[in-house]
Structure 1
Amino acid sequence: MGVAIRIIPCLDVDAGRVVKGVNFEGLRDAGDPVELAKRYNRCGADELTFLDVTASSADRETTFDVVAQTAEQVFIPLTVGGGVRTVEDVDRLLRTGADKASINTAAINRPEVINEIVDRFGSQVLVLSVDAKRSAGTESGFEVTTHGGRQDAGLDAVTWAREAEKRGVGEILLNSIDADGTKDGFDLELIRAVRAAVSIPIIASGGAGKPEDFPPAIEAGANAVLAASIFHFGPEAMIARCKQAVRDAGYEVR
């Protein structure tokens, strides 16, 4: 692929704690975000993604104080999402210590905000988070959802990814609602469908259960692989094991 594959732990944060569920439901506590971030930084993560999972559904801002504390403790790129709605939100996140901002619901509600953020800060700072689930009523078979998978957006996931790329988004965080937290492996069909439509980097998310799940996602077209449960509840060596599995499959890792 030419560019080294990134392994990215995800911190889903609710009320200042890291949480994890299955199919975006039944959340359980996974620890303190700052402590987990320090651990992942130490264990060789290439980046960190911090998602305030209830900011949009509760209609509030991201918890900037937790972002600031996390940014102080890690020396790898930090992407922050949840409640990002405007150019000003992105500006504040970057000033707080984030390297990239992830946008989801606000971009669906008003796609022009993608252009506005990219015009101000450049494509490299903006990640489009796409929460997709299988839907027979769409052309690609995948529909975009919002509010942690609880509401259908009425958008075809592949069509939306293509439009976002045209508007200048730098990469796509592709979350499979169906695979999320199941530990049954990534949704390879979803990754392939979006990869066929866009040329920007894809971060595959949802379904990692073991290191061997990572190479198939890359083969399907992912440039980076994101996971939560496997890292939060697994041994400290899990990031290294996942990187080794990717290496053993013939891919370069960071």
Structure 2
Amino acid sequence: MLRARVVPCLLVRNGGLVKTRRFGEDKYVGDPINAVRIFNEKEVDELIVADIDATVKGAEPNYTMIESLAAECRMPLCYGGGVTSAEQAKRIMGLGVEKVSISAAAVERPELISEMAEQVGSQSVVVVLDVKKKTLGGHQLRTHNGSRAVKLDPIEFARRAEALGAGEVVINSIDRDGMMDGYDLALAKQVRAAVEVPMTILGGAGSIANMEAAVRALGTVGVAAGSFFVFKGTYRAVLISYLSREQRLALQEQVAA
């Protein structure tokens, strides 16, 4: 039986762990390997690691870093950043990663989704949609750390990604990234209604209540967060945390309700 997943999301830049606000205002928060070790101890459901420099710089995935992370990680690991071919995805999977995510490459060449699904299986192909609100209403897809607007409807592209073989869709709200004031549930509901594959929402989680609201509204989904699991208090002191077993069970009960 599927259950709601609670997923920390780690952003990597120049080999270091960073956190952003609305895809800017980078703050260095430590070493990703140390973060993985802490999450191991806390028995995290799943982990997302995204190299936010690779695609912007046109760089290959950092296989050395990926191998180190996968060797340390005791939970399912999803890696994204710089992946532009099915061969790269297969190589990453060979290093011990369970899922490979793509964003800009999927938008620029949607057939890559099918190529990856054929090589590594649909269950390992994750399409990440970075979405920003438009001034006059609605939403637009963006790529390259939010710097490039794409003339595609995110809901329709989510449907297309599923049809091409994506095994999961991640909806990431640029406007809410790092703000810790709740998910964009209106957007998430539209995507949830459009696709049948597993979905994860990211951007805005600042409390367990935000996560509970998401699973009540959306059902069995992944609730991902960055800042919530990295910062503590008004002054955003770095303290890596996770939900207790009791908190996770309570979250699961929101789905049943």
* TM-score w.r.t. length of structure 1: 0.93
Distance 1:77 1:83, change over 3 A: same
Give the one of 240, 249, 253 matched to 2:254.
249
Distance 1:201 1:247, change over 3 A: closer
Query: What is the match of residue 42 of structure 1?
Result: 41
Deviation, structure 1 residue 63:
1.7
Distance 1:242 1:104, change over 3 A: farther
Q: How does 1:86-125 map to 2 (within 5 A)?
A: 86-125=85-124
Query: What is the match of residue 233 of structure 1?
Result: 231
1:135 and 2:139 are equivalent in the alignment: no
Distance 1:245 1:134, change over 3 A: farther
CA contact (8 A) 1:16 1:63 kept: no
CA contact (8 A) 1:133 1:143 kept: yes
Query: What is the match of residue 5 of structure 1?
Result: 4
Which digits, 9 at most, give the CA deviation of each residue in 1:130-183, with x for residues without a partner? 001112678xx2211001111101111001000001001000011011111100
Query: What is the match of residue 147 of structure 1?
Result: 144
Give the one of 132, 153, 158 matched to 2:155.
158
Distance 1:103 1:137, change over 3 A: farther
CA contact (8 A) 2:215 2:254 kept: no
Deviation, structure 1 residue 68:
1.0
Instruction: Report the Cα distance in structure 1 between the residues aligned to 2:254 and 2:72, rounded to whole angstroms.
Output: 32
Instruction: Report the Cα distance in structure 1 between the residues aligned to 2:128 and 2:15, rounded to whole angstroms.
Output: 21
SS in 2 for 1:238: coil
Instruction: Report the Cα distance in structure 2 between the residues aligned to 1:60 and 1:134, rounded to whole angstroms.
Output: 29
Instruction: Report the Cα distance in structure 2 between the residues aligned to 1:154 and 1:204, rounded to whole angstroms.
Output: 22
Return 5+ residue gaps in structure 2 as ranges: 233-238
Instruction: Report the Cα distance in structure 2 between the residues aligned to 1:155 and 1:62, rounded to whole angstroms.
Output: 26
For the aligned residue pairs, the C-alpha RMSD in angstroms reads 1.8
Larger deviation: 188-197 or 64-73?
Answer: 64-73
AA aligned opposite 1:121: V
Return 5+ residue gaps in structure 1 as ranges: none
Instruction: Report the Cα distance in structure 1 between the residues aligned to 2:83 and 2:90, rounded to whole angstroms.
Output: 10
Identity %: 35
Aligned residues: 249
1:185 and 2:182 are equivalent in the alignment: yes
Query: What is the match of residue 173 of structure 1?
Result: 170
Instruction: Report the Cα distance in structure 1 between the residues aligned to 2:136 and 2:110, rounded to whole angstroms.
Output: 22
Deviation, structure 1 residue 44:
2.1
Instruction: Report the Cα distance in structure 2 between the residues aligned to 1:249 and 1:110, rounded to whole angstroms.
Output: 38
SS in 2 for 1:118: helix
